[in-house]
Structure 1
Amino acid sequence: MTDLSRDYQNSAFIAGGDAYYPRWQAEAAAFRGQMGARARLDMAYGPGARQAFDLFLPEATPRGVMIFVHGGYWLACGREDYSHLAAGAVARGWACALPSYTLAPEARIAAMTVEIAQAVRAASALVAGPVVVTGHSAGGHLSARMGCADLALGVARVVPISPLADLAPLMHTEMNASLAIDAAEVAAESPARRGLAKGVQAHVWVGGQERPAFLWQARTLSEAWDCPWTVDPGKHHFDVIDGLIDPKSALISACLDGL
């Protein structure tokens, strides 16, 4: 079987790609400091070391809660790296929760799905109103799973950003030495192979300058779910999430408008 590792590499194909993670960490820390008492940090949704979320609140009573699930190929990163992505939702009057979850190889992807579902339930119990789940890359996969019929979480909308919607190709990458995806997990945990829950709205988002594999993944999910998808012109795999910072962006509108 052909090694597909190169298809799913991102930094090597983005100018200055290695600078994004340190920049995000600095922006996230600055945002947490600016939020002051409206930042409720390290809120447990389970007993595990990474089973916690940060909740950022608007100045008035929240209109609902948007949950952002971070990426990192289920292998890296955490909620503290992306706090600043709550800015757009908070400016629109929404609360925003960012969970961490147990990473591979300690956890299988199926277990991560269970954890994020627990985080969604915990966050939605704290904030009245509609629940929107978005996420990026591996977090796009997990956010899409929150909209699947087998979970029936009652979310209003899912907006997977650059999602890994069909896990089959990932079995043929070097990452699978740690992820241990097998055929059973492909069938159970690929959002593109599961139906969207009744009543859940979905909108798939992807950058126009992303690797072809990610464009394929996004389109595959939109076709499987018969839902809209947006190819964001000129955006690559890292800057495609920048729209979450801007309350007037098209991405934030896709997440929150009409709810």
Structure 2
Amino acid sequence: MDLDDAYANGPHIPDGDSFAPMWREKAAAFRAATPGVLNQSYGDRPREVYDLFVPGGAALSTVVFVHGGYWRSTDKDLWTHLAAGPLARGWRVAMVDYDLCPDVTIPQITRQVAQAVGAIAARCPGPLRLAGHSAGGHLVARMLDPAVAGDWLSRVEGVVPISPLSDLAPFLKTSMNADFALDAVTARAESPVHQPVPDRPVTVWVGGAERPAFLDQAAWLGKAWGCEVVVRPGRHHFDIIAGLEEAGSDLTAAVVGQRDR
């Protein structure tokens, strides 16, 4: 199997090249129209920042969203519009940025995201709910490892990894590993399927029209953790996240822990 092709999304999605410009336009429009505190530092490096959006009135609590991009591309400013759904339901939403491979390693990115969640937890009282897409799905799953998380882990009430990468072993055989510099030891250590089974709710979300490799990755995490895997028919890797733009979507409800209520 050609694993580079197996994990390639854009070439297999109709008009795949159109999504990033659309997201950036939506995200910029959202920031222009929505009060928020932008580029809040959680560390000393330029990309160690997050944006925080707060609803009118008392916030129910805080959602932390971590973007994807195969740990080597994009930034939080491409995804800001995905805060719209939880924000409209009365939740604070923090959008996290981090450094990219090959400037840093995946283990370093994991530590950065843990540091970011800690800074957000210190600023925002109450429970936390974590969500992330693709590589971001991997990163929020990693936050449930007690060896990674801080004291804030006790405040995490739910995690929704969306199209997550849960076992990094396949990436050892991709050209992307030139940037990742993974070996068998680090790939296993950074794979959520091999970390302790979490003791809090996790719902994996994936599109039914995604590449088989992503359906496998979602299924592997569900099996390893004994958690629910929601497969949304007809959704692919680029539109599976669209529900976060809407307050009434099933995905937004899952992220804020209010499904079937």
TM-score, normalised with respect to structure 2: 0.95
3-state secondary structure, aligned to 1:229: strand
Secondary structure of 1:240's counterpart equals coil
Matched, 1:107 2:114: no
Contact 1:63 1:93 in 2 (8 A): yes
- Aligned-partner Cα distance in 2 for 1:184–1:85: 34
Q: Which runs of 4+ in 1 moved over 3 A?
A: none
In terms of mean alpha carbon deviation, does 130-139 or 150-159 score higher? 150-159
Query: Is the counterpart of residue 146 in structure 1 residue 143 in structure 2?
Result: yes
Secondary structure, counterpart of 1:110 in structure 2: helix
Give SS of 1:112's match.
Answer: helix
C-alpha distance in 2 between matches for 1:250 and 1:102: 31
How far apart are the structure 2 equivalents of 1:27 and 1:3?
Answer: 34
Does the 8 Å contact 1:66/1:96 carry over to 2?
yes
Alpha-carbon deviation of 1:71? 0.5
1:241 corresponding residue in structure 2: 241
Does the 8 Å CA contact 1:149/1:194 hold for their aligned counterparts?
no
Alignment-derived partner of residue 184 in structure 1: 185
Q: Tell me the secondary structure at the aligned position of residue 84 of structure 1.
A: helix
Aligned to 2:75: 78
**1:1-259 alignment to 2 at 5 Å?**
3-35=2-34, 38-152=35-149, 153-154=153-154, 155-198=156-199, 200-258=200-258
For 2:126 and 2:238, locate their aligned partners in 1 and report how far apart those are by CA, in whole Å: 30
Structure 2 letter corresponding to 1:222: G
Determine if contact 1:150/1:197 at 8 Å carries over to the other structure.
Answer: no
> Deviations along 1:80-134, whole A, 9 cap, x unmatched?
1100000001001000001110100011100000000011111122212210111
What is the aligned residue count?
255
Cα distance in 2 for partners of 1:42, 1:143 equals 20
Q: Cα RMSD (Å) of the superposition?
A: 1.2
Give identity over the alignment, percent: 46
Answer whether contact 1:62 1:128 (CA < 8 A) is retained.
Answer: no
TM-score, with normalisation over the residues of structure 1? 0.96
Deviations 1:26-83 (A, max 9, x none): 0000000111xx3100000000110000001101121111011001000100001100
Shift of the alpha carbon at 1:146? Answer: 1.0
Q: Distance in 2 between matches of 1:84 and 1:75?
A: 21
